[in-house]
Amino acid sequence: MTKIIETEIPEQIVLEGNIRFPLVINPSNEIHNLDDTLKFIADHRDELLKRLLQHGAVLFRHFPIDNPSDFNQFALEFGWKDLPYIGGAAPRSRVVGVVFTTNESPPSKPIPFHHEMAQVPKFPSHLFFYCDIPSSRGGATPICYSPLIYETIRQERPEFVAKLEEKCIRYTRILPDGDDNSSAIGRGWQSTYLTEDPKRAEELCKEQGTDYEWLENGCLKTVTKVLPAIRLDERTGKHSWFNSIVAAYKGWRDSRNDPKKAVTYGDGTEIEEEYIEFCETLMQKLCVSFKWEKGDVLLIDNKQVLHSREAFEPPRKILAALFQ
């Protein structure tokens, strides 16, 4: 049986307990092609998932994963069920199988830190990113270890944590009538709810506990139910900063949406800008940002890790797969 070979990259940080973030794995000399890679995953799946839980994220580097179809097979080998992208804000297109494009918003616009789909009740447990074409400049996908973010904010802004624990948060977004690829949150209501039927979209809003209002221009205004901004991960006993506060406040801006109204406390009052600025600065300070290489696959435990996207110079193609 092939071995799991851990390696290091300069960008890694060391967490409590001498845990490297992210874990980086290289192929052994016995792995020559995709079939060998898939067998490696099948043979070591349980151990890989154990290490993923410890480290929060795993970067598979230099494995023979040469195209989106290879990536699709690699992701499926872990045995999870894919998650329909219902309620997400980002414009995306299906590529093959369970593989989608990442946010198709303009490359000049960075995407702030967030947990994937934290603004909806049903979010992915795990997500993969695959580098098909790295950008020549920019375009990294920085990641943060969420329990570290939570603990630092709790120590330095305890009053903010107390307010979030008491009030929780709500997200407000106006969805366009049809996709708007000029916006990082330009996913139309049809794509958001995977239907052309307004009644079906309303049903899905109700299932998620989301308030909705149809506007005269055909757009759909949605206000989520009150959601926690901090979650206890019962697997690890750690709290995570599980929200999209910074992403919504800093990134949910377009011709339809006012970012100051995009995320509020659960009672509808505005979140103080000073707290959001503090959180954004902290995430930039504590994040890991590595340069993508062709064939890289980054596996993220979504309950433990926030991610973002740097602005970049095209071409760049980073693909994703989301799992329940």
pLDDT digits (tens, 9 = 90+) for 37-51: 999 999 999 999 999
In the chain, pLDDT over 90 holds for what percent of residues? 90
What is the rounded average pLDDT for all residues in the chain?
A: 95
pLDDT of 142-180, one tens digit each? Answer: 999 999 999 999 999 999 999 999 999 999 999 999 999
- Sequential DSSP letters for 208-229: HT-EEEE-TTS-EEEEPPPB-S
Q: What is the CATH number of the domain that holds 279?
A: 3.60.130.10
Co-location of 190 and 302 in the same domain: no
The predicted pLDDT at position 320 comes to: 97
Co-location of 240 and 300 in the same domain: no
What CA–CA distance (Å, rounded) separates 26 from 34?
14
The predicted pLDDT at position 275 comes to: 98
State the pTM of this model.
0.94
Q: Identify whether the C-beta of residue 226 lies closer than 8 Å to the C-beta of residue 170.
A: yes
Co-location of 208 and 246 in the same domain: yes
Co-location of 128 and 196 in the same domain: no
Co-location of 25 and 116 in the same domain: yes
Q: Find all residues with CB under 8 Å of 277, minimum gap 6, and list them.
A: none
Query: What are the angstrom distances between the C-alpha of 117 and each of 75, 155, 174?
Result: 19, 26, 16
What CA–CA distance (Å, rounded) separates 105 from 83?
21
Co-location of 101 and 85 in the same domain: yes
pLDDT of 259-300, one tens digit each? Answer: 889 999 999 999 999 999 999 999 999 999 999 999 999 999
Residue 199 DSSP symbol: H
Co-location of 151 and 278 in the same domain: yes
Co-location of 216 and 266 in the same domain: yes
Domain end position, chosen among 266, 283, 300: 283
What CA–CA distance (Å, rounded) separates 301 from 48?
12
The predicted pLDDT at position 314 comes to: 96
How many CA atoms lie within 13 Å of 57's alpha carbon, on the beta-carbon side? 30
Among 302, 318, 271, residue whose Cα is nearest residue 56: 302
Tokens of 255: 């011709």
The predicted pLDDT at position 41 comes to: 98
Strands 263-265 and 169-175: antiparallel
Residue 29 belongs to domain spanning: 5-140+288-323
Co-location of 10 and 108 in the same domain: yes
Instruction: Give yes or no for residue 104 having a pLDDT over 90.
Output: no
Instruction: Give yes or no for residue 27 having a pLDDT over 90.
Output: yes
Co-location of 278 and 153 in the same domain: yes
Co-location of 110 and 32 in the same domain: yes
Co-location of 130 and 36 in the same domain: yes
Q: What is the mean pLDDT of residues 6-27?
A: 97
In the chain, pLDDT over 70 holds for what percent of residues? 100
pLDDT of 49-95, one tens digit each? Answer: 999 999 999 999 999 999 999 999 999 999 999 988 777 777 778 89
Q: How many domains does the chain have?
A: 2
Residue 288 DSSP symbol: B
What CA–CA distance (Å, rounded) separates 306 from 122?
16
pLDDT of 128-148, one tens digit each? Answer: 999 999 999 999 999 999 999
